[in-house]
Structure 1
């Protein structure tokens, strides 16, 4: 008969779900039974209190308070031992019906013992062996003995795991090893996916993955594998390296221990981080150059529709107003980086750089026009203020074309009488003329 194939993860998950539901139903049944027992005990207490009121407080204190006190063959010595126990032990009504033997239940906890709170309770999912290991390591710090391990273990169970513990047969656990074995066997299916040695051989370094990220990812998986031999670890991590210079270096160096491998890897990681930093600097520089090229390709738009005609070259006007400090030069004047193929025959006096002339510079033209309209450049305008005022203020009102306007005679503003010839005073001599 052929062996049955192992269940798939989905089948295991389904089995775990069904087991949890069964445990939940069992816990609900146990809870109902406990409630019924508690009601019977309370009814018996009330009946006994009514029948024995005349016996005083001493007799009423001897009445049973929970199910564990119902046996009538308990002797006085056992009652004294229970009264001597701490109050927190006597408050738990389920100790007598729990899975532990009398030796464990009668063990008196040290007075200074405190229950650790750093371990997360196990709720039925995850590796049960890992939970037991964590529990042992925490309790060993407190010097816990075997009875203490048994008594404290249920405190770190929750949900279906706690329901499973409550369903254990009474007086069936005498040692913690027995409890741990049953716990691990019962929740073995909860560890649905655990890595083993073979899984390490499937971990490979990605084409673009850095050596640091690969080692970190590999180490996380390796740490979850119990009893992993260092040689297997070393062989698997070397096999997962992608082809390249570092793989060739490891093949030549042949490290025999993980420490030697990590020493070689540390140097390679430093080199990769240095290259990455340089690459980041280059990309930042390229972005700056791209931004500069964008700004370089920007062409300003003229602000004015018409510009004043000056009687002097714009170069000379710029020089004079710069010397008189009427305006300030640009902040980077004279320090502009010039392209390789710049036209040296063109020069802008305002920007103090080659590549374009002052007449072609829109910024310089706008600046001079603004100063001219403010009245600061009247001496550089032909005809001074009269011509500038006439050209800026007069608007065509009759619909004439610009050519007809240019042909129309200008209206005289003043009449100046001049002597074209002859004597001014009518005398022939200079004294007579005076």
Structure 2
């Protein structure tokens, strides 16, 4: 927290020259206000802490500086010199100036409106809930725990929590961590199954692959197509196709049949649709 410059300020001389009691200790149980949060709630907590410690009006004014930070401290230091003689005046200016900051923050009641969506993972739900929870100042752990539990869908984890009855956020997070690990493992298994199903479809498509002729009829030669293919393969006028393995299923092929063009077993050169199209 930045230390205020007390050499100048908005307080009247009687406030600035007031000396704190020698044994007065500044309570530091309140987080300094930096422009975020409800100013009314902050003033209420500040007054409560200071009154318990027997602070008078001049002490309230002098100590208020120590509970501001960032833009809020800059605002106070920028007030006209000698414009504040009572804490009530300072509190009114403070509340009016930062009134808009309260509308940007949720309170603890808002947490009860956050529910786990259909098909939303536990991890995503807790991440979304936590982002709101950490923005609520002084959120009580029991309120936090009750709200996050009430937002679960009625599924297995809700039953687990009902049986385990975690009493603290730490106990709850430990149970949630185990459930998140289980969900992620299940999702990984689903992904693996989907991958293998897609791979099986690819293999089946290869097995069912069948080349269709490009022409309705073919020229009748006075010699076998196999002999013609061999003649033009030898001087390397043509080359065997690189993707010969995809022509048909390579498993359980008929070894009694051989294609000179594909240089594979399973069909004859005369039956080869690719060779017919080529010739």
**Global fold match (TM > 0.5):** yes
Q: Structure 1's 307 and 279: CA in aligned 2 closer, same or farther, altered over 3 A?
A: farther
2:167 to 256, 259, 262: 256
Aligned partners of 2:152, 2:239: CA distance in 1, in Å? 63
Task: Say which structure, 1 or 2, has more relative contact order (CA 8 Å, 6+ apart).
Answer: 2
1:208-287 pair list within 5 angstroms = 208-285=119-196
The partner residue of 1:309 within 206, 209, 221 is 221
Rounded Cα–Cα distance in structure 1 between residues aligned with 2:115 and 2:156: 16
Give 1:242 deviation, angstroms. Answer: 1.0
TM-score (norm 2): 0.59
CA distance in 1, matches of 2:182, 2:257: 48
**How far apart in 1 are the matches of 2:41 and 2:213?**
75
* Counterparts in 2 of 1:186 and 1:312: CA distance versus 1, 3 Å: closer
* TM-score for the superposition, normalised by structure 1: 0.41
- Gap change, CA 1:255 and 1:131, over 3 Å in 2: closer
1:127 paired with 2:42, answer no
* Structure 1 residues 419-430: aligned runs within 5 Å: none
Mapping 1:26-425, distance limit 5 Å: 99-102=10-13, 122=35, 127-129=37-39, 150=65, 156=71, 166=79, 170-173=82-85, 179=90, 182-184=93-95, 187-188=98-99, 190-192=101-103, 194-285=105-196, 299=211, 302=214, 307=219, 309-312=221-224, 314=226, 326=236, 329-331=240-242, 333=244, 338=249, 349=259, 350=262, 352=264, 354=266, 357-367=268-278, 369=279
- Assess, with a 3 A threshold, how the Cα gap between structure 1 residues 283 and 206 changes in structure 2: closer, same or farther: same
Q: 1:261 to 1:271 in 2, by over 3 A?
A: same
Instruction: Give the secondary structure class of the aligned counterpart of 1:191.
Output: helix
Q: Which has the larger radius of gyration?
A: 1
Query: Over residues 33-88 of structure 1, what are the superposed CA-to-partner deviations in whole Å (9 max), with x where a residue is unaligned?
Result: xxxxxxxxxxxxxxxxxxxxxxxxxxxxxxxxxxxxxxxxxxxxxxxxxxxxxxx9
Alpha-carbon distance in structure 2 between the residues aligned to 1:120 and 1:150: 10
Decide whether the 8 Å contact of 2:108 with 2:139 is kept in 1: yes
Tell me the distance in 2 between the aligned counterparts of 1:241 and 1:154.
Answer: 38
Say if 2:218 and 2:276, in contact at 8 Å, map to a contact too: no
Query: CA deviation digits over 1:65-116, x for unaligned, max 9?
Result: xxxxxxxxxxxxxxxxxxxxxxx999xxxx6xx7312266689xxxxxxxxx
Deviation at 1:246, TM superposition (A): 2.0
1:277-296 CA distance string (max 9 Å, x none)? 34344445555666677776
Take 2:16 and 2:215, find their aligned partners in 1: how far apart are those partners?
Answer: 98
2:50 corresponds to which residue?
Answer: none
Write the distance in 2 (CA, Å) between the matches of 1:131 and 1:198. Answer: 15
Gaps of 5+ in 1: 1-87, 108-118, 137-145, 370-434
Structure 1 CA distance for aligned equivalents of residues 69 and 168 of structure 2? 42
CA distance in 2, matches of 1:325, 1:279: 54
Over 3 Å counting, the alpha-carbon distance change for 1:360 and 1:278 in structure 2 is farther
CA distance in 1, matches of 2:248, 2:109: 62
**Alpha-carbon distance, 1:214 to partner:** 0.5
Number of residues of Structure 1 aligned to a counterpart in Structure 2: 241
Shift of 1:247: 2.1
Q: 1:151 to 1:250 in 2, by over 3 A?
A: closer
Are the structure 2 counterparts of residues 260 and 318 from structure 1 closer, same or farther at C-alpha, using a change threshold of 3 Å? farther
Q: Please provide the CA RMSD for this pair.
A: 5.2
Alpha-carbon distance in structure 1 between the residues aligned to 2:264 and 2:85 = 97
